[in-house]
């Protein structure tokens, strides 16, 4: 991630984004207390896709998985994929969802941290194991599925797969487009 403009420079111009994307980008920047939310001002250059992607992504964030579970999965995806942009936003959102600094450190150190094992509960460990397996193998073994199914119902299991794949794809897009951080001083 560079401090430069990215491979497709973001824009805050109404004529480049269209009214809906321009308003969404401004509202999101205000929400994250940044002068610009580069994800929206970059993806907004493809007006229709941003407009279609936002409700899907938002639905996954506010779905059947408890918010702390969703943020745990997103933080793990961001960490494994080395996507500082995702991490910058979701560290804060994770704290708001109840994932304190010790829990976040355990998420990032998983599975090596002996201290993390004490910090994480069985549900969190199952989600982390499943996330890593999903990212590495693009599927889950029967044993991992069964472990996850002890904590999640059928709808949540489906949602877990879509959430992990959504944020994996988003991390890849952010990295490929070299989207700059919204708050570079808060790494």
Global pTM reads 0.89
Q: What angle do CA 56, 59, 64 make, to 5 degrees?
A: 140
Question: Are 25 and 182 contacting, i.e. CB atoms less than 8 angstroms apart?
Answer: no
The predicted-structure confidence for 76-97, as pLDDT tens digits, reads as follows 999 999 999 999 999 999 999 9
**CA nearest neighbour of 52 among 20, 6, 15, 27:** 20
| Per-residue confidence band for 152, with pLDDT thresholds at 50, 70 and 90 | very high
Task: Over range 57-80, report the average pLDDT.
Answer: 96
- Going by the DSSP 8-state scheme, the letter that residue 111 receives in this structure is T
Lowest mean pLDDT among 9-23, 57-71, 161-175: 9-23
DSSP states of 23-85 as a string? HHHHHHHHHTT-S--HHHHHHTTSHHHHHHHHHHHHHHHTSSS-HHHHHHHHHHHHHHHT-HH
Greater pLDDT, 119 or 127? 127
Task: Over range 147-170, report the average pLDDT.
Answer: 98
- So what's the architecture of 67-177 in CATH? Up-down Bundle (1.20)
Q: Residue 23: pLDDT above 80?
A: yes
Task: Over range 115-121, report the average pLDDT.
Answer: 72
Question: Are 54 and 31 contacting, i.e. CB atoms less than 8 angstroms apart?
Answer: no
Tokens of 157: 């299991």
- The highest-confidence range among 26-30, 33-37, 138-142, by mean pLDDT, is 138-142
Task: Over range 28-53, report the average pLDDT.
Answer: 87
Q: Where are the domains of the chain?
A: 15-61, 67-177
Task: Over range 64-72, report the average pLDDT.
Answer: 97
Task: Over range 61-87, report the average pLDDT.
Answer: 97
CA distances from 152 to 13, 69, 135, 167 (A): 43, 10, 19, 19
């Amino acid at each position: 991630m560079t401090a430069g403009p990215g491979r497709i420079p973001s824009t805050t111009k109404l004529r480049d984004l269209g009214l809906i994307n321009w308003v969404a980008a401004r509202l999101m920047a205000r929400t994250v207390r940044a002068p610009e939310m580069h994800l929206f001002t970059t993806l907004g250059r493809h007006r229709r896709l941003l407009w279609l992607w936002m409700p899907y992504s938002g639905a996954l964030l506010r779905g059947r998985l408890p918010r702390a579970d969703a943020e745990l999965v997103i933080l793990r995806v961001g960490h494994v994929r080395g996507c500082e942009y995702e991490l910058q936003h979701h560290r804060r959102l994770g704290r708001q969802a109840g994932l304190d600094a010790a829990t976040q450190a355990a998420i990032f150190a998983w599975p090596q941290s002996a201290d993390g094992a004490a910090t994480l509960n069985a549900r969190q460990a199952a989600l982390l194991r499943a996330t890593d397996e999903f990212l590495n193998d693009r599927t889950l073994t029967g044993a991992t599925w069964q472990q996850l199914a002890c904590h999640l119902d059928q709808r949540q299991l489906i949602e877990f797969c879509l959430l992990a794949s959504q944020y994996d794809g988003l991390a890849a897009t952010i990295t490929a487009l070299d989207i700059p951080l919204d708050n570079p001083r808060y790494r």
